[in-house]
Amino acid sequence: QVELVQSGAEVKKPGASVKVSCKASGYTFTDYYMHWVRQAPGQGLEWMGWIHPSSGATNYAQMFQARVTMTRDTSTNTVYMEVNSLRSDDTAVFYCARQYFGSWYFDYWGQGSLVTVSS
């Protein structure tokens, strides 16, 4: 069965970086884009960007472009999302979600990773 398993909760200080992982199983890793979505406490969902697992190509939402990097490791079927220069308003749950090429929706999501930024 399809599973996207994300890394655990993190607490970081302002200015630090965090790298969240999303390990995929149960399907052909390179057949699906992987997206990342941010959800601040009590707030809605924000699309951050995607990575093409086969080529490594990325596309970021403008508001995240300067501080976010998405990478992948095809040997372990894992994608990573790193946020630099963390601020307190980056405190959020980050989700990975997959999209089949040529479809226009996310069908499976990871369980979410809480990142808390606090001094």
Q: Which residues bind another protein (CB under 8 A)?
A: 35, 37, 44-47, 49-50, 59, 61-62, 95, 97, 99, 103-107, 109-112
Alpha helices by DSSP H, listed for 6-118, are none
> Based on CB atoms, which residue is closest to another protein, 37 or 79?
37
> Based on CB atoms, which residue is closest to another protein, 80 or 95?
95
- 94 closest CA partner among 82, 106, 107, 85: 82
Q: Whole-number minimum distance, CB 55 to another protein, in Å?
A: 16
The gap from C-alpha 74 to its chain's centroid, in whole angstroms, comes to 16
> Based on CB atoms, which residue is closest to another protein, 36 or 80?
36
Q: Whole-number minimum distance, CB 34 to another protein, in Å?
A: 13
Distance CA 92, CA 108 (A): 20
Q: Whole-number minimum distance, CB 13 to another protein, in Å?
A: 26
Distance CA 115, CA 21 (A): 12
